[in-house]
Structure 1
């Protein structure tokens, strides 16, 4: 059986700490943004699902089960689409300023 500590000995810190210290305020901001995005996409899914249930399709169903599957499936797809759109827009709103800050920092 191989010795794990021998195998990964090159990855053990040699005492030189070159990493940056993570500020608690940045962690809190990141966590609040993540939580806000989760809540926002959840609300968007529910509203999209509700919108999908409000639309009736002009289909002739052979069986009641197929009618239920199609209606629930359509409403679920509407909810997923709404959540994906809201998440994409939020990522653009967060990502564009971040990229600009990174470019400005590299130019200095």
Structure 2
């Protein structure tokens, strides 16, 4: 069943949400280029470290095979690759979690100090 055509004028999206674009958050201030570059550098560093952790975890998983009796060659390959993938993902998750804690704790402490100075 086709939709009926709208008879009234269409609302202007830019006019409807203009207050969100035009008004600047006065409390936050302008975004500094140095902060953006620092955040991009941290993100890139986390991606590289997490990737390296995955590769090392995968390699560790290939060196330590689960001790199972395999019925078929296909299942042996699936289990070995699956075990190595799980080891890699676990290593990447652990490294990412530790890095986020190492970055997040000082950030939270700085935010609390700023709030204490204001209030």
Q: What TM-score comes out, normalization by structure 2 length?
A: 0.81
Q: 1:53 to 1:9 in 2, by over 3 A?
A: same
Structure 1 residue aligned with 2:3: none
CA 1:77–1:4: 2 relative to 1, 3 Å: farther
Q: Which has the larger radius of gyration?
A: 2
Partner residue of 1:47 out of 39, 52, 56:
56
**Relative contact order, CA 8 A, sep 6+: which one is greater?**
1
Q: Which residue number corresponds to residue 32 of structure 2?
A: 23
TM-score by length of 1: 0.89
Q: What residue in structure 2 maps to residue 68 of structure 1?
A: 77
Alignment match, 2:97: 88
Mark the runs of 5 or more structure 2 residues left unpaired by the alignment.
Answer: 1-5
Q: C-alpha distance in 1, partners of 2:22/2:53?
A: 48
- 2:37 aligned counterpart, secondary structure: helix
CA drift at 1:16: 4.3
Runs of 4+ in 1 over 6 A off after TM superposition: none
TM-fit CA distance, 1:9 = 3.4
Runs (5+) with no aligned partner, structure 1: none
**Equivalent in the alignment of 2:106:** 97
Q: How far apart are the structure 2 equivalents of 1:55 and 1:61?
A: 16
Pairwise CA RMSD: 1.9
Q: 1:4 to 1:56 in 2, by over 3 A?
A: same
Query: Is the partner of 1:76 in helix, strand or coil?
Result: helix
When the two structures are aligned, how many residues end up with a matched partner?
Answer: 107
